[in-house]
Amino acid sequence: MTRLHRIGLIVPSSNVTVETEVPALLARHPGARFSFHASRMRMHRVSSEELRAMNAQRERCVDELADAGVDALLYACLVALMAQGPGEHQRTEKAVTEQLASAGRHPAVLSSAGALVEGLQALGARRIALVTPYLRPLAEQVVDYLRAEGVDVLDWAALEVGDNAEVGCIPGDRVMAAARGLDLDGADALVISACVQMPSLGLITAAEEEFGLPVLSAATAGAYSLLRGLGLPTELPDAGRLLAAPLPSQP
């Protein structure tokens, strides 16, 4: 019988997209089954103040998901970590791992911020362009974070949406229009959504065909890292080049 893998998601209270896109992606896996279990941190407006207050709720969420006995846990808010400065995904993942270990739990611990870095590394993408929904100051922090990870961000767009519920309603044609406005000359990849709340799953394949580049999002990178963390093959259909076939960096 195919094993069922329990996935824990720590999400902002106003997020509705990651709990749709990540399950939709993993449902395509040919050799595994998944269930999804979320714990929420209160956050409505994507601002530095609300992100810090949201992060302060992390320990409660981790305890709740420990009780569910999850096999992997994804801290599913990219900007919440990147806004805290370079290397924050490593510090957070370490703290969550230690908290779970103290409760006798040892799931794979991942974050959307770390997953995007991992996905870009797996693609060998050192020069990228990206689309974010954030207000410009937060978008700049995301760009600076990736540059600190050795990624050259050649061009980027900020859609200037501060209400997180509204981010979940950004239409795909607006995202594609922003991507078309980017200078992709010399880019190795396009991050079409640097946010787990901005819908983009349906855009990945079409964007790769249009721009002739690997295209990934916070959601596809999260799915890739979850599969890697669980020791499962990472091939998923119609999800972009990151999830299309084993990559050279994979063992």
pLDDT one-digit tens code per residue, 151-210: 999 999 999 999 999 999 999 999 999 999 999 999 999 999 999 999 999 999 999 999
What was the pLDDT predicted at 77?
94
Which of 97, 179, 75 is CA-nearest to residue 130?
179
Question: Confidence band (pLDDT; 50, 70, 90) for 250?
Answer: very low
Distance, C-alpha 51 to centroid of its chain = 16
CB distance 113 to 58 below 8 Å = no
Q: Are 38 and 157 in contact (CB under 8 A)?
A: no
Asked if pLDDT for residue 249 goes beyond 80, the answer is no
**Structure confidence at residue 3 as a pLDDT band (50, 70, 90):** confident
Q: Which of 74, 76, 77, 215 is catalytic?
A: 77
DSSP class of residue 113 equals H
pLDDT of residue 251: 44
**Rounded mean pLDDT, 40-69:** 94
pLDDT band with cut points at 50, 70 and 90 for residue 1: low
At residue 200, what is the residue type? Answer: S
pTM for the full predicted model:
0.94
Strands 127-132 and 152-158: parallel
Q: Is 195 a catalytic residue?
A: yes
Q: How confident is the model at residue 2 (pLDDT cuts 50, 70, 90)?
A: confident
- Among left, alpha and beta (phi > 0; psi -120 to 50; other), residue 186 is left
* Average pLDDT for the chain: 95
pLDDT of residue 147: 97
pLDDT classification of 247: cutoffs 50, 70, 90 = low
pLDDT at 7: 98
Catalytic residue among 195, 201, 213, 216: 195
Place of tokens 């995007």: 116
